[in-house]
Structure 1
Amino acid sequence: MHTVRTEIRTKQYSYRTEKSYLYWVRLFILFNDKKHPKVMGNHEIERFLNHLAVNRGV
């Protein structure tokens, strides 16, 4: 999370945006059994987005 936070702050996004991004990153990681994002690819992203669309109505 530290890398994401640093990148967001470097780009001077608002604190609220930072909180939102970190929330979604955390949710993505937890959904994928706590795997590190560097070892995940399109398959995991598609699974997560399908889950959000179908099960959570996002």
Structure 2
Amino acid sequence: MKIIADRDRCAGAGMCALTAPEHFDQDDADGLVVLLADEAEDCDTEVAEAVDLCPSGALRLR
């Protein structure tokens, strides 16, 4: 699965970095999402949970 992060929609809540730190981080300057890996295994439940928990809807899986 491909991970898509829309930094324009990101609110900087950090749920993604807390839930799946091997895939997401936050920019030190503005707190917005940074993708550490843009691919995830189909069975990666942490990434799917991070997408579901994102309060601004900035994350998607394709």
TM-score normalized with structure 2 length? 0.29
Structure with bigger gyration radius: 1
Name the one with the larger helix percent.
1
TM-score normalized with structure 1 length? 0.30
Q: Could you say which structure has the greater relative contact order, defined with CA pairs below 8 angstroms and 6 or more residues apart?
A: 2
Name the one with the larger strand percent.
2
